[in-house]
Structure 1
Amino acid sequence: MSTGKGTHDCYEQYELKSYEKLFTCDGCKMKGFGQRYQCQLCGHELHKECRYPRTTTSHDYFPGSTFEFRDNPFTSFSYKNNRKEYSKICDACGKDICGFSYHCEADNLDLHPCCLNLKKDLTVDEAVFSLRAKVSSKCMWCRKRKISDGKRDVPGWSYVSACKKYHVHVYCMAEIVHAACVENGEMGLEKVDMWKLARVSGNRGSRSGGAVFGTIKSILKIILSALLGDPTMLISNVFVELVSRGFQ
């Protein structure tokens, strides 16, 4: 296994830091928030999952599949664009793999390091949301069943409630983070427009509706924290406040 030390010569100078702002991980090239390992010489930053990768690992969603760590992405030459392009996407979030990843050769599966944090089942207030590849309801964010990045249908996971009424694409959660960076810079998620989530239900004024909203807010917080490699939940206060405003 490669340990990732080849990313630059001062790899051993990383120290654990914590800032309430977004960053781009120099290992997996995905966004992170809160805790990160920062090089004191060059300023490079890594998720914990990328600073200390595992030789092999597994995920409950793929029982029997063994994933091996890779510090270089798969690429292929595109004759159409006359250049090398990334040739693998993450089977969890549907985003291109541009850096560190875990690959299962036998089953042709790929995951970002932080996507390994996504639990197969999430339970909040006795409500269970489970990972699914196929869904029958529309995503709370994009209002679609299938994911598309404009060029292709994107495979990926969704968290679906036991009643199958509520679901959200993991891809869409990654898009929320991307939008925060493009529109507002790297200073966090405080300006993300969450109004779309208010359309989840027409009963937001009822007691039962309020309980549902509280559960969904908690589920979304957990998903984002996993994708951003934020085990200390530093994102929680900001995100919960954003979603609360969206439901008003």
Structure 2
Amino acid sequence: MSTKSLRKSGTFLLNKSPSMELANSPRTTTFLPVEFPTSPQPTLGKDISHFSHPHTLSQVLLPELFTCSGCKEYGAGTRFTCKHCDFQLHDFCALSPDQVLLKAHPLHGQHQLGLHSKPKTGGMLSSSCDVCGKPAKGYTFRCSACSFQMHPCCAMFSTEMSFLAHPHSLKLLPAMSTLSSGDPGFACAECKRRRSGRVYRCTVCDYHLHAVCAKSMINGLQAYGIKGVEKPSMLAAAARLASHVVIGFIGGLLEGIGEGVGEVIGQNIAKGKYTSGRRSG
């Protein structure tokens, strides 16, 4: 992680979360980027200097889909963009604290979390977020005491949330809950699918919502009517590639066998003709 701090060049109005504390915060720091898990509310049009980019970033509001240069995930609406190149960041990625640790986050209160520009290595398998289950390819909040990590977007979640898609508040089920997204009786109200990741459940009715589906309500996709833009998983892509290789191999093998059989038949025919010729002579 770079040691450059996120410098203040404008006034940002942020919600304060009483349940959150920032550990190891320097006393000389005059700018607090954002206190997770509350959503940042900076004043539009202000510029910031970010540790990950050499140019100044301006906050704008655009309805088009974009890929965040920090976390590598999709977004729409409010973002910080560079006027000199195509570098863009979600507001929560741009305002994530890079020099201080998140202490007592609702989703991982036992340890402190630090922002990293790259996810932890996952060996042969891709590294994934412990909240939504999607691959982690860029910025992550990572625990130094254990293997826990999550996207900056997922760090905006709390154990109890209210979403416009449902009239009641939702509570996050425990990570090892018996009612998981793999349960045949479970139905997410948004995607109607079974998938990995944490799950929210309504406190009043039988409404359930995947954390990964709730992300579209945080990153601006739902607000701008953008659907069906999930990136294909590396495992699925590898499976498709392997199937093509196997099919090609089998096809070539059959073709070779066919040529071999044809050659043998031709040789036998020629041999038969030669033998019959000798007998008739």
The TM-score by the shorter chain falls in which range? 0.5 to 0.7
Q: 2:140 aligns with which of 101, 126, 132?
A: 101
Q: Are residues 68 and 237 of structure 1, via their aligned partners in 2, closer, same or farther at CA, if it must alter by over 3 Å?
A: closer
Q: 1:146-185 to 2 correspondence within 5 Å?
A: 146-147=194-195, 154=196, 156-163=197-204, 165-171=206-212, 173=213
- Aligned partner of 1:224 in structure 2 is 216
Aligned residues: 168
Aligned partners of 1:14 and 1:38 also within 8 Å: yes
- Distance change in 2, residues 1:126/1:42 (3 Å): closer
From 109, 127, 132, the counterpart of 1:63: 109
- Verify the 8 A CA contact 1:141 1:168 in the aligned structure 2: yes
Give the TM-score normalised by the residue count of structure 2: 0.52
Equivalent residue runs for 1:1-248 within 5 Å:
1-2=1-2, 7-8=52-53, 10=54, 12-54=55-97, 55-58=100-103, 59-75=105-121, 78=124, 86=126, 88-123=127-162, 127-132=168-173, 133=175, 134=177, 135=179, 137-144=186-193, 146-147=194-195, 154=196, 156-163=197-204, 165-171=206-212, 173=213, 223-226=215-218, 228=219, 230=220, 235-236=222-223, 238=225
Displacement of 1:77 in angstroms is: 5.5
What percentage of residue pairs aligned between the two structures are identical? 26
Contact 1:158 1:170 in 2 (8 A): yes
Question: Distance in 2 between the 1:138 and 1:104 partners?
Answer: 31
Structure 2 alignment gaps of length 5 or more: 7-49, 181-185, 227-281
Q: Which runs of 5+ in 1 are unaligned?
A: 79-84, 148-153, 174-219, 240-248
Tell me the alpha carbon deviations over residues 27-80 of structure 1, each in whole angstroms, 9 at most, x when there is no partner.
Answer: 1101111011101111210112222321311421222221111012223554xx
Which residue identity is paired with 1:73? Answer: P
Render the CA deviation track for 1:187-211: whole Å, top value 9, x for unaligned.
Answer: xxxxxxxxxxxxxxxxxxxxxxxxx
| 1:158-197 deviations in Å (ceiling 9; x for gaps) | 11012461101122x2xxxxxxxxxxxxxxxxxxxxxxxx
Query: Over the residues paired in the alignment, what is the CA RMSD in angstroms?
Result: 2.8
With a CA cutoff of 8 Å and minimum separation of 6, indicate the structure with the bigger relative contact order. 1
- 2:121 aligned partner, one-letter code: T
Task: Check 1:139–1:40 CA distance in 2 against 1; reply closer, same or farther (3 A cut).
Answer: same
Distance 1:141 1:225 in 2: 11
